[in-house]
Structure 1
Amino acid sequence: MKSKSKKSLKIGLPKETSNDERRLSLTPGGVSILTANGHEVFVEKNAGIDAHFSDHEYQEAGAEISYSAEELFSNSEMIVKVAPPTKTELNWMQPNQILLSALHLGHTTHEFMDTLVEKGVCAIGYEFLKAEDGEFPIVRMMHEITGSMSVQIAAHYLENSSDGQGIMLGGISGIPPATVAILGAGITGEYAARTALGYGAQVFVMDNDLAMLRHLENALDRRIITATANHQYLSTALGFADVVIGAAMTEGERAPCWVTDPMVRAMKPGSVIVDTVIDQGGCVSTSEPTTHSNPVFKKHDVIHFCVPNIPSNVARTATYALNNVIVPYLIELGDAGGIHDCLYRNTALRNGVYTYKKYLTKKALSDQFEMPFRDIEALIASQI
């Protein structure tokens, strides 16, 4: 991938400071591709430590190690990180800097938006990056990880050492496997189903979108049992489920609450609920957000795992996943010779922008925060 870019970008990779965030956006391999293309990359000291990437590996790849975050922000034209900038980091951001990070819609404040707009930062959100095929590449990757991980987590909490029922997910000859009920047939639900089948569990998937259930049945060769997510089927499935994976969600909206208190009360003692949509409010009424350091609680004798940021616990895998999506965009940004031309050419990045040239460019955000809005297409066309 050696093609000298038209414009050399100064890219900064700060260490994540928010609780429980262990991922980065670029691996040393990604950095070496960027430096081969003539870009400069600054990595804050120990930024990769939780994902087991050393400063030495980043240096070998051509990055410069920054010993202070403030210095890194002042040296970079573009900041690439996972969590949204903290208050302190926002203060360090400079006019016309480019920010590429998640936005975490549920926790965004008016003040945060105001600061980005006033400073004239061009902010691109991972949640909004939407490719021409209609897919959200970063959201999809994280959902794949979350779905697979949710079953791995549930298997662990079914064991005696975790105060579970003391059963194996897969069963063995002469002993039937555990039953896994998955709520939602989206990407998270699909990857949870694939992993649960791999373990040898009996898998039920429930959703109200018949087309998605049909797609999943075909994709998994009819090895799952599907049902509409109505009260009767949900109550029955939860009554005999050993594991419930909550993955019911609507993109950009609060998760629908499908599981009521009485349904949880009727579950087997020692069974496990993993609510993967807790960052969108959760789809189980008894769910409350937990943390990686204190991940579970018991209610009605059912173990609840409700950590909002599951991929962060497999930081190395998740960093590779982010890197694979982000590096091509950064190369394209350099090749375009600047952010304006790049947004003009690149649909995914253009879809990702939520503040540009001192305007909010997402209608939903301008409604939410009652701030003026300009369409990104109009801003680019008018060469502002």
Structure 2
Amino acid sequence: MDLTGGRCSQGKYIPQELLKEISKMGNRLLIGIPRERNEEERRLPLTPEAVDMLTDCGHRVVVETNAGLGINYSDNHFSEAGAEIVATPQEVYQADLILKILPPLPGEVALMKPRSTLFSMVQLNSFAPEAFELMMGKRINAIGYELLADDQNKLPVLNIISEIEGKASISIAAEMLSNARGGKGLLFGGISGVPPTEVVIVGAGIAGTAAARAALGMGAMVKVFDEDINKLRTIQQVLGQSLFTSNFQPNVLHNAFRSADVVIGAMRYINSRKRYVIAEEMISSMKKGALIIDLRVNQGGCFETTCGLTPSDPSVFQQYGIFHYCKSNVSNYVARTTAMGFSNIFVPMLFSIGDMGSVQALIKADMGFRAGIYMYAGKPVNRYVANHFNLSSADISIYLSAF
């Protein structure tokens, strides 16, 4: 008998197709994707194409009905990809792994199984202390997307959000400067014989670089400020000598703000030792009708006029005659692109969990994944997150052998 393509066990031939199905059942994950309760949240962690890859490998994916409408995918799209569509959040939150976007609400945590694992954004400005306490009581494992690192110690989710939001900020600026949105009626970038739009970007990281590239591509005059000379050198090398760069030299910064049509705040504050905030005095010196876009509202804000904003505060307002655009999660502006970017990161991560056999095993084996854990078995293990809730944290390695 030809045993090629199969395996012989106790004198019996097992076809290769059956072996494939057996291997699928080995470390089968149960993944829940709930619908977000915030009406402005449109993003989703996985697209139907990503779900299809997971279900094809034997993993179960449970999706709450209408969860994909924000990225223009119906329940049928997910069902055809192998997902199980359920009518209530209670059914979704019985999964072992919960993938969502925003931090959980207290009512959502109440539905979760004890010792289950939650993947979501941290976004401390919208993270209720009651929800955090409930998570501790249920001994939840919690992973923050913004904290996850890769093999090169870079932050893949935070970086892709920054790139998307940096590019999207220029589209938003072009729209906000037009008459249609009550702006000054400026064409972004200008035309022949008309001075170009002046854009000031605070922060030379990924978001600032993406915004600068998009603005230069539309013909704007761009000035980038940062405290890190290495970042300024990098962005200059990437985008060319036509880009103006400077550190936070007060006179230079003040002059740039006075002539700017658009100012974009793109500093990164997560796990940062320093925090630079542009003074209110600088804002008040700007031209009337100019525009500020703060991409870091979720991290506390880049400007004194935007610091401390809560979800209940207006996200678009005027102060000193300056338009402020402070909507949380600008990547909602292009939600499907964001979901596709997330899927590229989360599918391999979920495959790794399946291959390792458990979340705990991957935590022990992968330092980058471990960096994303801010709660382990109900214990706070990230100082940045714990400090926000006035709690102490411990190194996760202390608990790895105990749980």
Q: What is the TM-score of this pair, normalised by structure 1? A: 0.92
2:324 matched to which residue of 1?
Answer: 304
Amino acid at match of 2:218: Y
2:15 matched to which residue of 1?
Answer: none
Correspondence 1:44-59 to 2 at 5 A:
44-59=64-79
Distance 1:285 1:357, change over 3 A: closer
Q: Is the 8 A contact 1:6 1:335 kept in 2?
A: no
Question: Shift in Å at residue 208 of structure 1?
Answer: 1.8
Distance 1:110 1:172, change over 3 A: closer
Correspondence 1:1-384 to 2 at 5 A:
4=24, 6-74=26-94, 76-252=95-271, 255-261=275-281, 263-287=282-306, 289=309, 295-369=315-389, 371=391, 373-380=393-400, 382=401, 384=403
Distance 1:372 1:171, change over 3 A: closer
Distance 1:303 1:342, change over 3 A: same
Equivalents in 2 of 1:223, 1:172: separation in Å? 18
Q: Is the 8 A contact 2:120 2:144 kept in 1?
A: yes
Q: How many residues matched?
A: 380
Amino acid at match of 2:63: V
Larger radius of gyration: 2
Q: Is the 8 A contact 1:255 1:280 kept in 2?
A: no
Question: Shift in Å at residue 5 of structure 1?
Answer: 7.0
Equivalents in 2 of 1:7, 1:383: separation in Å? 23
Task: Name stretches of at least 5 consecutive residues in structure 1 with no aligned partner.
Answer: none
Q: Is the 8 A contact 2:167 2:211 kept in 1?
A: yes
Task: Name stretches of at least 5 consecutive residues in structure 2 with no aligned partner.
Answer: 1-19
Equivalents in 1 of 2:179, 2:344: separation in Å? 38
Residue by residue over 1:4-27, the C-alpha shift from the partner in whole angstroms, topping out at 9 and shown as x without a partner, is: 474001100000002421111000
Q: Is the 8 A contact 1:272 1:302 kept in 2?
A: yes
Q: CA RMSD in A?
A: 2.2
Q: Is the 8 A contact 2:48 2:78 kept in 1?
A: yes
Distance 1:334 1:27, change over 3 A: same
Equivalents in 2 of 1:156, 1:266: separation in Å? 23
SS in 2 for 1:154: helix
Question: Shift in Å at residue 269 of structure 1?
Answer: 2.0
Question: Shift in Å at residue 290 of structure 1?
Answer: 8.2
Residue by residue over 1:114-156, the C-alpha shift from the partner in whole angstroms, topping out at 9 and shown as x without a partner, is: 3212212111111211112111111111111111111111111
Q: Is the 8 A contact 1:256 1:282 kept in 2?
A: no
Equivalents in 2 of 1:268, 1:372: separation in Å? 45
Query: Once superposed, which parts of structure 1, at least 4 consecutive aligned residues long, lie more than 3 Å away?
Result: 2-6, 106-111, 252-255, 288-295, 363-374
Q: Is the 8 A contact 1:27 1:320 kept in 2?
A: yes
More RCO (CA 8 Å, sep 6+): 1
Amino acid at match of 1:41: V
SS in 2 for 1:123: strand
Equivalents in 2 of 1:175, 1:10: separation in Å? 59
Equivalents in 2 of 1:73, 1:13: separation in Å? 8
Distance 1:156 1:12, change over 3 A: same
Question: Shift in Å at residue 110 of structure 1?
Answer: 4.1
Distance 1:370 1:163, change over 3 A: closer
Q: Share of identical aligned residues, percent?
A: 37
SS in 2 for 1:188: helix
Question: Shift in Å at residue 368 of structure 1?
Answer: 4.8
Q: Is the 8 A contact 2:106 2:130 kept in 1?
A: no
